[in-house]
């Protein structure tokens, strides 16, 4: 009997223990799962934000480098926010071959016909920043850049390009300080004498 | 009990494997992304460095061009190749370690030529075309960016090189690299590019001095080719390689520039003050003529020498040991009676001295160039340039030994129309009173102006005289 009683009482103890164990283990499992879920979610958000930042930064660099290249060889500039036009020498002929320059009689030179130049237009439209050279199809330099702003400050011999975007690191939106931190500046020394203002070469 | 333990262990193992697998996937994807971005950043950095390499090639070429301006032997273009080609002046291939990229070899390929289209017909100055290619190897795999616009902008040579000898000729590569190509046009710069240029101190001690400019070749900036205060221009620039300009509150219609120095008495300067100026003046060497007029050999009394219609001919050249005119004695440089263009070059191996009412007279139509090795002292109205054009009377001081001190003194002259280039001489212009005027340009070791003398710089001088430097007038990156 004692043995039987003991045998009968054991399952009761074990059963009770199993319920509490189930509750505890479920709680632990839920806690761990919740922690893992939160961790993975955080990791995923962090990954997405980092990837987004990285892509945006690459976009900034690309726009800046494109503009710097054109500004270095610019002979005239029309600067405005999100819309800048740069005129460069007509270095290539219609077949794409470089031309020998001609003296302009005023201490300078020009390529192609006198007074000609190539127009390079940078502009932001419908969340895409384009670069268009003369009448050629516009090339998208960066897409999904609704929050991009590029400013070109014309200081005569140097031009400063300022590109910003709003990072998405936190759900409540980027702070002003964080936005400032993403500003990308590039000051370019213009190599050519300008035709639109009185400015000498370096 | 063993089976239960076994089941729990299996569950943990599965969970562990799943978690590790997920973490590994995240890590791999992150690593892939980071590696791509790292590679992109490295390629971008190398691309930027290649531009520096290409621009260094332009500097190398300008250095050789400047060397060629010095008296012989100037060692210009030594070590440069001259491969067959149309009008090729020099070609060089240099490889130097790039300190910014941990000693990565940086190759600079420079090609200088002188196309006939780039000769200025007004003064026959040759402009030069400099084409350079800067090349730097890319570290890491030959992998292009995932953005096609990056590829169009930063043209990397992963398997094929686009440029060879400055010409667009693709060829197979053994390792990836990046090359950038620049074409620059440089033009000669005159010795008389400023109103006043000094190696050392510029001292304008009197506050009534006016320094301004005009252009004798432009009727809107001069009247009948002469200075007109109503058409005054603001290019009367003053510069020094030294640290001090004593402007003395002079009225300067132009810019002033020092070599990290200061400008005192700068209240009446209309232009800008700069501190980044340095331009080593090219020293003047003694003429190396093979023949010239045998007589006269010196001038001590009234003398007439004749200019020639042929520039650079023996008939237009004279070598004098000295010129010493006192009392009312004159040295007349005679041209054609009809005033047509003639030329004369005079090399004075000693001193030039004109005092009293003595005078050097340059007749109409004569363009005179005088080289002097000694001192120059001219007082009174000692120089009469009948053309009233500073480009028609140019005085060049031959560089004295560093141990000797030479000078050029103009004193008590009411009007001087001449250009003076003497970077080894101390130049002083004094006296002249309120009507004292200097039309031209002054370059000296030091320059001092006292006693109210006005200086009116003729901008036309910027395209005449000896070449002192080369300046970039066109720059283009060939991004094919």
Q: The complex's ipTM?
A: 0.79
Asked if A91 reaches chain B (Cβ–Cβ under 8 Å), the answer is yes
Name the residue among B115, B149, B154 with its Cβ closest to that of A100.
B115
Cβ neighbours of A120 in B, within 8 Å: none
Name the residue among A61, A69, A109 with its Cβ closest to that of B473.
A109
Determine, for residues B474 and A89 on separate chains, whether the beta-carbon distance falls below 8 Å. yes
Q: Are strands B359-362 and B330-334 parallel, antiparallel or unpaired?
A: parallel
Min CA distance, B76 vs chain A (Å)? 24
User: Considering only alpha carbons, which residue of chain B is nearest residue A92?
Assistant: B478
Cβ neighbours of B37 in A, within 8 Å: 54, 58
Q: Which segments of B297-431 are extended strands (E)?
A: 303-306, 317-320, 323-325, 330-334, 342-348, 352-354, 359-362, 366-372, 376-379, 383-385, 393-397, 406-411, 415-430
φ and ψ at residue B375, rounded to 5 degrees: -95, 160
Closest-CA residue to B462 (of B120, B69, B115): B120
The per-residue pLDDT for B164 is: 66
Cβ neighbours of B129 in A, within 8 Å: 100-101
Best of B49, B153, B162 to disrupt the A interface (most A CBs within 10 Å) is B153
- With a CB cutoff of 8 Å and minimum separation 6, the contacts of B212 are B232, B233, B234, B236, B251, B252, B253, B254, B455, B456, B457
The per-residue pLDDT for A16 is: 57
Average pLDDT over residues A161-174: 68
Determine, for residues A88 and B476 on separate chains, whether the beta-carbon distance falls below 8 Å. yes
The per-residue pLDDT for B19 is: 84
Average pLDDT over residues A186-191: 89
Determine, for residues A139 and B475 on separate chains, whether the beta-carbon distance falls below 8 Å. no
Query: How high is the mean pLDDT of chain B?
Result: 86
The per-residue pLDDT for B38 is: 83
- With a CB cutoff of 8 Å and minimum separation 6, the contacts of B310 are B316, B343
Name the residue among B26, B474, B479 with its Cβ closest to that of A109.
B474
Alpha carbons B336 and B386: distance in angstroms, whole number: 13
The per-residue pLDDT for B84 is: 45
- With a CB cutoff of 8 Å and minimum separation 6, the contacts of B473 are A107, A108, A109, A192, A193, A201, B127, B185, B186, B187
Q: Convert A99-132 to b/e letters by CB count within 10 Å (16 or more is b).
A: eebebeeebbbbbbeeeebbebbbbbeeebbbbe
The per-residue pLDDT for A168 is: 64
Asked if A34 reaches chain B (Cβ–Cβ under 8 Å), the answer is no
Name the residue among A102, A140, A201 with its Cβ closest to that of B473.
A201
Task: State yes or no: pLDDT of A202 exceeds 80.
Answer: no
The per-residue pLDDT for A148 is: 79
Helices and strands: H and E segment counts in chain A: 2, 10
Name the residue among A102, A201, A202 with its Cβ closest to that of B117.
A102
Asked if B42 reaches chain A (Cβ–Cβ under 8 Å), the answer is no
Min CA distance, A176 vs chain B (Å)? 26
Determine, for residues B22 and A65 on separate chains, whether the beta-carbon distance falls below 8 Å. no
Write the DSSP symbol of residue B103: T
The per-residue pLDDT for B9 is: 54
Cβ neighbours of B150 in A, within 8 Å: 58, 62
Identify the H or E element spanning B467.
strand B467-478
Cβ neighbours of B472 in A, within 8 Å: 191, 201-202
Query: How high is the mean pLDDT of chain A?
Result: 81
Closest-CA residue to B136 (of B167, B170, B100, B166): B100
pLDDT per position as a tens digit, A59-106: 888 888 999 999 999 999 998 888 999 999 999 998 888 888 999 888
pLDDT per position as a tens digit, B278-292: 988 999 999 999 999
The per-residue pLDDT for A170 is: 57
Those residues of chain B that have pLDDT short of 70 are 1-10, 82-102, 164-169, 206-207, 413-414, 432-434, 452
pTM of the model: 0.82
The per-residue pLDDT for B441 is: 95
Contacts with A, B 223-252, CB within 8 Å: none
Asked if A197 reaches chain B (Cβ–Cβ under 8 Å), the answer is no
Asked if B8 reaches chain A (Cβ–Cβ under 8 Å), the answer is no
Alpha carbons B158 and B165: distance in angstroms, whole number: 19
User: Considering only alpha carbons, which residue of chain A is nearest residue B29?
Assistant: A47
Determine, for residues A100 and B129 on separate chains, whether the beta-carbon distance falls below 8 Å. yes
Contacts with A, B 156-185, CB within 8 Å: 183-185
């Amino acid at each position: 009997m004692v043995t039987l009683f003991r045998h009968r009482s054991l399952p009761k103890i074990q059963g009770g223990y199993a319920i509490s164990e189930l509750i505890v283990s479920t709680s632990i499992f839920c806690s761990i799962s919740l922690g893992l879920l939160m961790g993975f979610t955080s990791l995923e958000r962090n990954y997405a934000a980092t990837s987004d930042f990285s892509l945006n930064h690459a976009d900034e660099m690309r726009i800046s480098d494109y503009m710097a290249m054109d500004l270095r060889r610019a002979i005239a500039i029309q600067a405005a926010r999100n819309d800048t036009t740069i005129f460069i020498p007509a270095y290539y002929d219609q077949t794409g071959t470089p031309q020998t320059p001609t003296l302009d009689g005023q201490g300078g030179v020009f390529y192609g016909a006198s007074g000609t130049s190539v127009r390079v237009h940078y502009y932001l439209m419908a969340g895409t920043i384009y670069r268009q050279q003369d009448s050629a199809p516009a090339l998208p330099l960066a897409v999904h850049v609704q929050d991009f702003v590029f400013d070109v400050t014309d200081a005569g011999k140097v031009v400063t390009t300022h590109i910003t975007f709003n990072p998405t690191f936190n759900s409540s939106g980027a702070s002003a300080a964080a936005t400032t931190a993403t500003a990308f500046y590039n000051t370019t020394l213009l190599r050519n004498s300008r035709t639109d203002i009185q400015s000498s070469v370096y | 009990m063993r089976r239960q333990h076994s089941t729990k262990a299996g569950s943990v193992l599965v969970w562990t494997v799943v978690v590790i697998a997920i973490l590994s996937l995240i890590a791999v994807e992150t690593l892939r992304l980071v590696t791509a971005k790292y590679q992109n950043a490295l390629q971008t950095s190398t691309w930027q460095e290649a531009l520096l390499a290409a621009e260094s090639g332009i500097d190398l070429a300008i250095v050789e061009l400047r060397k060629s301006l010095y008296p012989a032997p100037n060692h210009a273009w030594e070590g440069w190749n001259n491969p067959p080609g149309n009008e090729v002046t020099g070609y060089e291939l240099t490889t130097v370690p790039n300190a910014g990229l941990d000693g990565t070899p940086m190759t600079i390929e420079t090609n200088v030529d002188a196309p006939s289209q780039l000769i200025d017909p007004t003064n026959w100055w040759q402009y030069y075309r400099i084409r350079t290619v800067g090349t730097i190897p890319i570290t890491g795999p030959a992998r292009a960016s995932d953005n096609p616009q990056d590829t169009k902008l930063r043209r990397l040579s992963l398997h094929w090189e686009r440029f060879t000898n400055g010409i667009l000729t693709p060829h197979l590569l053994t390792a990836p690299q990046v090359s950038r190509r620049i074409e620059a046009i440089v033009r000669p710069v005159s010795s008389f590019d400023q109103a006043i240029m000094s190696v050392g101190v510029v001292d304008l001690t009197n506050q009534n001095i006016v320094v301004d400019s005009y252009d004798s070749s432009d009727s809107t900036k001069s009247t009948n080719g002469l200075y007109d205060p109503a058409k005054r221009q603001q290019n009367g620039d003053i510069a020094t390689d030294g640290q001090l300009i004593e402007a003395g509150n002079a009225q300067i219609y132009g810019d002033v520039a020092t070599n990290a120095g200061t400008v005192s008495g700068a209240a009446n300067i209309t232009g800008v003050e700069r501190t980044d100026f340095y331009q080593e003046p090219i020293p003047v060497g003694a003429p190396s003529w093979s023949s010239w007029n045998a007589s006269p050999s010196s001038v001590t009394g009234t003398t007439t020498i004749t200019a020639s219609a042929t520039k650079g001919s023996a008939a237009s050249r004279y070598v004098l040991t000295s010129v010493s005119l006192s009392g009312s004695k004159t040295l007349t440089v005679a041209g054609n009676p009809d005033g047509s263009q003639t030329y004369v070059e005079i090399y004075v191996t000693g001193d030039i001295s004109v005092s009293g009412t003595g005078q050097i007279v340059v007749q109409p139509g004569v363009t005179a160039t005088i080289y002097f090795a000694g001192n120059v002292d001219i007082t009174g109205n000692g120089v009469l340039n009948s053309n009233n054009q500073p480009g028609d009377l140019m005085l060049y001081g031959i560089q004295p030994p560093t141990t000797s001190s030479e000078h050029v003194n103009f004193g008590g002259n009411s009007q001087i129309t001449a250009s003076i280039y003497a970077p080894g001489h101390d130049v002083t212009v004094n006296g002249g009173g309120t009507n004292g005027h200097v039309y031209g340009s002054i370059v000296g070791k030091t320059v001092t102006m006292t006693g109210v003398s006005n200086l009116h710089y003729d901008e036309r001088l910027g395209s005449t005289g000896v070449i002192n430097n080369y300046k970039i007038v066109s720059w283009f990156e060939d991004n094919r």
